[in-house]
Amino acid sequence: MEFSSKLLENAVNEMSQLPGIGKRTALRLVLHMLRQPKEQTLDFTKALSTMRTEIKLCKSCHNISDTDLCDICANPNRNESIVCVVEDIRDVMAIENTSSFKGLYHVLGGKISPMDGIGPNELNISSLVEKVKLGAITELIFALGSTMEGDTTNFYIFKQIQGCNVKTSTIARGISVGNELEYTDEVTLGRSIINRIPFEASLKS
Amino acid sequence: MEFSSKLLENAVNEMSQLPGIGKRTALRLVLHMLRQPKEQTLDFTKALSTMRTEIKLCKSCHNISDTDLCDICANPNRNESIVCVVEDIRDVMAIENTSSFKGLYHVLGGKISPMDGIGPNELNISSLVEKVKLGAITELIFALGSTMEGDTTNFYIFKQIQGCNVKTSTIARGISVGNELEYTDEVTLGRSIINRIPFEASLKS
């Protein structure tokens, strides 16, 4: 791509560094900005740079936060003895949207994935193990995605806290609500039969 | 969407103002930035804000430029007597990529589109008409997209410069190189038959 302006070229190159945004899309977005009032672009860049420099991670659960302790950890109405282990902040948001969990979270910041060079030391695992060893946690819920990396991470943490007096559970795998059996993959369907629940219990949820 | 951080929420809101980027994609992009080194986001925001505040439009052809006169208009090797009328800078880039045009451009900044509230006064038409009336231009090539708005704009400019001593042409409409006839729409195919060219001429291009 030949640009008539170095400034434009720089902007497009920076924009196309974002995941899923190619050069053409980047150019489209940058030209859109040029058609908008100047202030709009300056608001945009200010919001992003302020966010990047001033945002904090909650020192307890590693969730993204404006303060040292995030709103969830600081909330006295949450049950501190149940901790849900998730991969990243999007999972916290997804679970919070369901309003079905009143405990705290622990954000790992990823999953163990040797292929991508991510080992246990790159994740917030040691602080979780420490918290468990302090003894205040009664249940740990593993809520990672159902992939090989997720299962590996679950198992690694499970091994680290063996011997501690804590119950561990994992979120249920099974067919989605509203789904037909014929469209469900066989592994999921198999697990949903093995991990079947008493019918009376299903009436409550 | 519930955010644990106001800074994050602002950043996602600003990001989702971009065309084609929804809240979920915006969140994904912003979280990607948080995983990158701080400097990368600051480079990104600086490139965009500098671009938006310092970029200029060429005072002759209205192309985007770092200087008062763009590289194409300032190039003494270009033929100043042929001017190609295009909608925006992307069209300039597309035509430049073909290396088949050695004249100058005139960027209108859009097409006449009453539905979107864009009339001739919102576009760089008067400066084009002035240039033509000065008499230095021998040929005007209309290279707008083949839509109703494009045709309207072509015709409006054509009417404005009537009586001036200038040849006008429009880029050829026809079947794309490499295309099969059966997949070409009937209007295009019809035009390509009406506007057929001598076979000897086609051997040269």
Kindly provide the ipTM of the predicted complex, given to two decimals.
0.79
For residue B57, list its beta bridge partners.
B64
Token pair for B31? 């979280």
Amino acid occupying residue A18: L
B36-91 pLDDT per residue, tens: 899 999 999 999 999 999 998 899 999 999 889 999 999 999 999 999 999 988 89
CB B34 within 8 A of CB A52: yes
- What's the pLDDT at A202? 75
Low-confidence ranges of chain B (pLDDT < 70): 205
Closest partner CB to A93 (pick from B2, B21, B32): B2
- What's the pLDDT at B189? 85
- What's the pLDDT at B53? 92
Q: Work out the number of other CB atoms within 10 angstroms of the CB of residue A1.
A: 15
- The 3-state DSSP class for residue B122 equals helix
Token pair for A149? 């990396």
Q: Which fold has domain A69-171?
A: Dna Topoisomerase Vi A Subunit; Chain: A, domain 2 (3.40.1360)
CATH number of B6-54: 1.10.8.420
Instruction: Please answer yes or no on whether A27 and B92 come within 8 Å at the CB atom.
Output: no
CB B121 within 8 A of CB B150: no
Range scoring the smallest mean pLDDT among A31-40, A61-70, A103-112, A190-199: A190-199
Q: What is the mean pLDDT of residues A34-57?
A: 92
Instruction: Please answer yes or no on whether A49 and B41 come within 8 Å at the CB atom.
Output: yes
Q: Work out the number of other CB atoms within 10 angstroms of the CB of residue B58.
A: 25
Q: Which fold has domain B67-171?
A: Dna Topoisomerase Vi A Subunit; Chain: A, domain 2 (3.40.1360)
Instruction: Please answer yes or no on whether A8 and B55 come within 8 Å at the CB atom.
Output: yes
Mean pLDDT of chain A: 90
Domain with CATH 1.10.8.420 in chain B: 6-54
Closest partner CB to A72 (pick from B4, B28, B40): B4
Domain with CATH 3.40.1360.10 in chain A: 69-171
Domain with CATH 3.40.1360.10 in chain B: 67-171
A61-91 pLDDT per residue, tens: 999 998 899 999 999 999 999 999 999 888 9
For residue A139, list its beta bridge partners.
A82, A167
Closest partner CB to A51 (pick from B8, B19, B72): B8
